[in-house]
Amino acid sequence: MAVRRSFWPSKWKLVFAATALGGGASVATIANSDDPATSLKLCTAVPVRLFRLSVTAATIAFDYEYSLMGLPEDSDERVRVKHEVHTRSARRLEELCFKNGGIYIKLGQHVGQLDYLVPLEYAKTMRESMLNRCPTSTYDQVCKVVKKELGGAPQEIFDEFDPVPIASASLAQVHVARTHDGQKVAVKVQHTHMTDTAAADFATVEVIVNTLHRFFPSFDYRWLVDEVRETSPKELDFLNEAKNSVKCMDNFRRLSPHIADYVYAPTVYWSLSTTKVLTMEFIEGAQVNDLKSIQKLGIQPHDISKLVSQTFAEMMFKHGFVHCDPHAANLLVRALPSGRSSIYGRRKPQLVLLDHGLYKELDTYTRTNYAALWKALVLADANAIKENCMKFGAGEDLYAFFTSILTMKPWERVIDPAVDHLAIDDQSELQIYGPEYFSHVTELLHRLPRVILLMMKTNDCLRSVDNALLQSPSLGSFLIIGRVSSEAVIKEKLSHAKSLFSLISIWLEEISLEARFIIMQVALWVLQFRKSLSL
């Protein structure tokens, strides 16, 4: 009981300190507001949100400290208790995100997409709730935003406007409408509270996370707050999102013309779009993980899996302009509008990319080295893997661990020359949340460039989509990644070739690589055929 008595006062000291510091940051942010009405609103809303955050943060922190106190590091009891604390804390964080809304939900969504970078209990809890249960704005609030942005009520600006949203996310919700010339459109309307409280919320969240890190050095997710702080203003600007969608499609036409017809982004209605309202062409299609609807379209999931892998490999390794939020709700599938079929008579898919708010640009150095790393991973080239990991700062001590997170395979499997060495046949094969690995994760997050952290998040989203489509290990995706990354590396080498001898050497390397991928593809077909016979 003595321990318990000393525990709770410490907890409330931390709550008080964090609330005071966060309150100071919030007051400074509110003082910068030019709108008296907004300032008054912030003065009433922010303290309540800050208090919830402070209490939740302190409760989570001390639940870990108190529950694990005295339990041996390697004991089964500690593992069991830690799982329970992770689960309780994830639920508390989930409740906080829904109560505070706005930026908090955005943070929760990021956590839900960071498999293997945060404890699995957090990722699973956030993924299951944050993407499907986002709060909605009332129709009155929607009308106010539309009138302020477009100069009239929805029923005036549009011929038809459905007051019930078809989808809602952390930043906005989408309504179906019809223009006065009869075009069916999707209207994305920003939640009214987003820009009001975003700055103050960021200030308070940052202070709380920094305070927790000071008291508990092993808790260090400052990088996540920094990432959301950097990306959210861009996501809140819907004209920026519209420009991203145009640039994305232009990149496919210029740099990847061989698949440009198979990737699509809805057309933007610029005259009906502002920073807070985005009007786009309405697209009918199946969500990429909706297997029943996909089957009704007469499209094979395997063809969609290949297209998704090809699309994002082209973005990462050739374009250097990457859609970094490719969860299932942002990827639609429809039959190719031209009606073309494969040589087997199957309907060909077209991938429709939605929500272009979050993109990352990779400079030439990062893009080329990231492509070289994936080429080495697919070909199980241990020396090249190490060399390219070191270029990203992983270091002698953590480069193998970095590759394990990228591929979800232990190092021994990563460098195994077998054609199926990267197949994910057991999600629990790599458990990186034992006590012996936590310090590795924290240190690696410090060393890697932030853009690589976002690429890792993108990889996790794509892996989840692939698993939903095929419901079995996908080797074809890795071969596609290997091919596209190799093409990007060869193209970069050719751009720097200064002699005929260099050109010939690079061409021979290209021929050798293509032959190797053909052999791997044949080996994969044989492996799949044998597995089908054994079923």
Rg (CA), the chain: 25
Q: How many CA atoms lie within 13 A of 192 on its CB side?
A: 16
Beta bridge partners of 321: 361
Residue 423: name the closest of 487, 466, 359 by CA. 466
Please indicate whether residue 261 is annotated as part of the active site: no
Angle between helices 193-215 and 36-67 (to 10 degrees): 30
| Residue from 122, 154, 116 nearest 138 by CA | 154
Using DSSP's 3-state secondary structure scheme, residue 276 falls into coil
Residue with tokens 């046949």: 425
DSSP assignment string, 115-138: BTTB-HHHHHHHHHHHTT------
Q: How many CB atoms neighbour CB 28 within 10 A?
A: 12
Please report the DSSP string for 461-476 in residue order: HHHHHHHHHHSS--SH
In which residue are the tokens 């339990």 written?
A: 71
- Of 196, 325, 355, 460, which residue is the catalytic one? 325
What's the CA gap between 194 and 49, in Å, rounded? Answer: 14
Q: Which ranges of 178-300 does DSSP label H, i.e. alpha helix?
A: 193-215, 222-235, 238-255, 291-296
The three-state DSSP-derived secondary structure of 293-325 is HHHHCCCCHHHHHHHHHHHHHHHHHHHCEEECC
Burial of 353 (0-12, 13-18, 19+ CB in 10 A): buried
Q: Are 458 and 324 in contact (CB under 8 A)?
A: yes
- How far, in Å, CA of 167 to CA of 189, rounded? 11
Structure tokens at 296: 């009704």
Q: Residue 280 gets which letter from DSSP?
A: E
Three-class HEC string of 397-431: HHHHHHHHHHHCCCHHHHCCCCCCCCCCCCCCCCC
Secondary-structure breakdown of the chain: helix, strand, coil percentages, each rounded to the nearest 5 = 65, 10, 25
The answer to whether the beta carbons of residues 97 and 130 sit under 8 Å apart is: yes
Tokens of 73: 């590091």
Give the burial class of 407: count Cβ atoms within 10 A of its Cβ; 0-12 exposed, 13-18 middle, 19 or more buried: buried
C-alpha span between 111 and 126 (Å, rounded) = 7
Question: Tokens 């002698």, residue?
Answer: 396
Active site residues: 325
